[in-house]
Amino acid sequence: MFSRLPKLPADPLLGLIGLYRDDTNPNKVDLGVGVYRDEQGHTAIMTSVQKAQQIHLETEDSKTYIGPVGVPGFVNGIKSLVLGAQAQAVTDGRIAAIQTPGGCGALRVAAEFIHRLDKDMTVWVSDPTWANHVPLIRSAGLEIKSYPYFDAATGDVDYEKMDQQLAQLGPKDVVLLHGCCHNPTGADLSFEHWQRITERANQQGFLPFVDIAYQGLGDGLDDDVKGVRWLSENVKEMIIATSCSKNFGLYRERTGCLMVQAENKQQAEAMQTQVQDLARANYSMSPAYGGFLVDTILHNDALRAEWQQELANMATRVKALRAGLLEQINAQGIDKDFSFITRQKGMFSYLGINPEQVKRMREEFSIYMADSSRVNIAGLNTHCLEYVASSLKKVCG
């Protein structure tokens, strides 16, 4: 029976891991896989997380199930972190929420929740979007279409084209938005854009669905979600999927949260039963460890302050790498405008070079990136900036 299924090709981005590992060039640079790395190229455990781990080790007294909601302190903490402690939807009890196995788990349960609302709903994603959005959502039985988003010529959001598409949507449509630090382009919606999207959602009746995986790695914890909070304050219903992989460094702990904002408390209580039922059918209970760590950090004043400073330092370093890369590119005199690099936010950027040039960067200079030319800015360090820029000069002519 198993012979009916063929061997699938390797994931192209994950395949770069093996190529990079086997490369013997001492100057090799990995700009492919989207994890934060420090100046030494290491994805270290945050000091605040290490301290939370010790606290948890000393206080945990049971390994019993934590229940379908997850760690309650984690769920409540994430609600406040994303929407604000005094958010009307939070204080009114309009948010149904569960802990999930990473942001992927939140996205998948959200997709099944949408399918349960109406199996004929269409989910609209940005062009381009994070590659895993498509299989996560489509495998729940939903149709996916894309709306214009990125202007490759300028490296910015093409909001007018995006708005033209949104103006054609209706109540059977869901619009997936990146909360901040757009993956893969780094081109973010402005606060004015969020205001206009909110107006469109209310006019057209489509359901906003926000994926936020990089809060704190752009302009700051509150500034990064200013638009998301505006949206929440001004629409009746929305969905939010969050991840703690990047801003807490909990990649392998698979720690995420799904929030469903309802029109009133009674509906939220009903939606709580729905998302818990979907979680039960998917994975039964979330892994507790990451949720306990985040709960500990968010509700310990000293640890929270330390975490916020560590996160701010990470964001500052990424901005400095953007500025440093642009400076080195300009010094090379490349006949292409790369100024968008410093306008974009978070860990990712599109360099705007073609697949053949990407191939040359890999084969001739051992600089690894996605075929789309998406690069992980956090994979750079101050020592390799000149090498990367000089290599770009050689492939760009």
> What are the phi and psi torsion angles at 54 (to 5°)?
-65, -40
Residues 343 and 323: their CA atoms lie apart, in Å, by 10
> What are the phi and psi torsion angles at 261 (to 5°)?
-90, 120
SS3 173: strand
Nearest to 397 by CA among 348, 366, 360: 360
Is 194 one of the catalytic residues? no
CB within 8 A of 2, min separation 6: which ones?
Answer: none
Nearest to 150 by CA among 352, 356, 355, 392: 352
Residues 177 and 212: their CA atoms lie apart, in Å, by 8
Asked if the bond preceding 9 is cis, omega within 30° of 0, the reply is no
User: Which residue type occupies 60?
Assistant: E
Catalytic residue among 173, 188, 211, 295: 211
Catalytic residue among 246, 295, 307, 345: 246
Which residue pairs from 300-306 have beta carbons closer than 8 angstroms and sit at least 24 positions apart in sequence? 300/52, 300/55, 303/48, 303/51, 303/52, 304/48, 306/47, 306/48, 306/51
Residue with tokens 């690099």: 341
Is 246 one of the catalytic residues? yes
CB within 8 A of 380, min separation 6: which ones?
Answer: 29, 31, 321, 324, 325, 388
Residues 322 and 315: their CA atoms lie apart, in Å, by 11
Beta-sheet strands, E only, within 122-281: 122-127, 143-148, 150-151, 156-157, 173-178, 207-212, 238-243, 255-261
Residue 114 near residue 142, CB atoms below 8 Å = yes
User: Which residue type occupies 231?
Assistant: L
User: Which residue type occupies 22?
Assistant: D
Nearest to 178 by CA among 347, 313, 352: 347
Is 124 one of the catalytic residues? no
Catalytic residue among 28, 51, 130, 295: 130
Active site residues: 130, 211, 246
